Amino acid sequence: MTTNEVSVKHVRKSVIAGSWYPGHRDELSKMLDGFFENAKNENLGRIRALIAPHAGYIYSGQVAAFSFKQIESDDYSKVIILAPSHQYPFNGASIADYTHYETPLGEVRISSLAKELIKESELISSTPAAHSREHSAEIEIPFLQRILRDFEIVPIILGGMSESDMDEFSNLIIKHLDEKTLIVASTDLSHYHPYNEAVSMDTSCINSIVNLDMENAKRCEMCGYFPVLITMKIAEKLNWQAKLLKYANSGDVTGDRSEVVGYAAIAFYTKK
């Protein structure tokens, strides 16, 4: 191996451990195990993609567990995480130049696919500011660490995209999918509406997602707009089915129903 071929480890340290979820390994493991114990594996078939929320674990962790429970004991070796940008506005997609993501449960290696994707599409850049403080990809990783054994990730932060951009990006992802690759789309649903209004809005949104109704899904209020629509495009092209696993909102957790945030767990799958 030449000097130029020696890879330098570049770890993305957690920016939300101790706030959005527990900062200590044992406490985090215990919380995740409790979530999984209360979730059901629907045995749908081969899971191809999951939609999971990205709020603090005390609010949305139980809903997220319903998604990740579906891949219990499965053998995925690669997980593509599609997550929205909350901190940095930009267009296209970004894959940061990290070699690992770190959580209190340890480090997860970033797949070599990350660099391949950057080379293959002008839509994808490496924009550090899109990743450095962003929670929406990181927050899914401890669930994966607790439920899978040996896997790598491709964390992609999505900015704004046109319809043609989404088509191009979805085709690029399809090109790299195989039986051991999973997609995780990170999103919350409606934000800060009264409880009953939020449930109505979110129910309509969820129905459009599981029915792969792109036009109505575009009317959804969700921060992971592009991750969800791109996942739906992929599902439509590959004839995946979708199922709602769990819905709740922050009002169900806190009891405050005046302004709530919605959360859904949805699986995309093919029959075995």
Of 235, 237, 239, 248, the closest CA to residue 182 belongs to 235
Give the pLDDT of residue 5.
42
Give the pLDDT of residue 128.
86
Angle at 161 between CA 173 and CA 170, to 5 degrees: 15
Give the pLDDT of residue 272.
73
Give the pLDDT of residue 55.
92
Tally of domains within the chain = 1
Classify each residue of 106-117 as buried b or exposed e, where b means 16 or more C-beta atoms within 10 Å of its C-beta. eebebbebbebb
Which residue ranges of the chain lie beneath pLDDT 50? Answer: 1-6
Give the pLDDT of residue 129.
86
Of 140, 97, 125, 130, the closest CA to residue 7 belongs to 97
Give the pLDDT of residue 135.
86
Q: What CATH number did the domain enclosing 172 receive?
A: 3.40.830.10
Give the pLDDT of residue 4.
45
Note down the domain range covering 205.
3-270
pLDDT digits 0-9 by tens, 198-215: 999 999 999 999 999 999
Joined tokens for residue 5: 């071929």
* 14: Cβ contacts below 8 Å, ≥ 6 apart: 23, 102, 103, 104, 138
DSSP symbol at 196:
H
Give the pLDDT of residue 6.
45
d(C-alpha 103, C-alpha 101), whole Å: 7
pLDDT digits 0-9 by tens, 132-168: 888 899 999 999 999 999 999 999 999 999 999 999 9
Give the pLDDT of residue 1.
40
Give the pLDDT of residue 74.
85
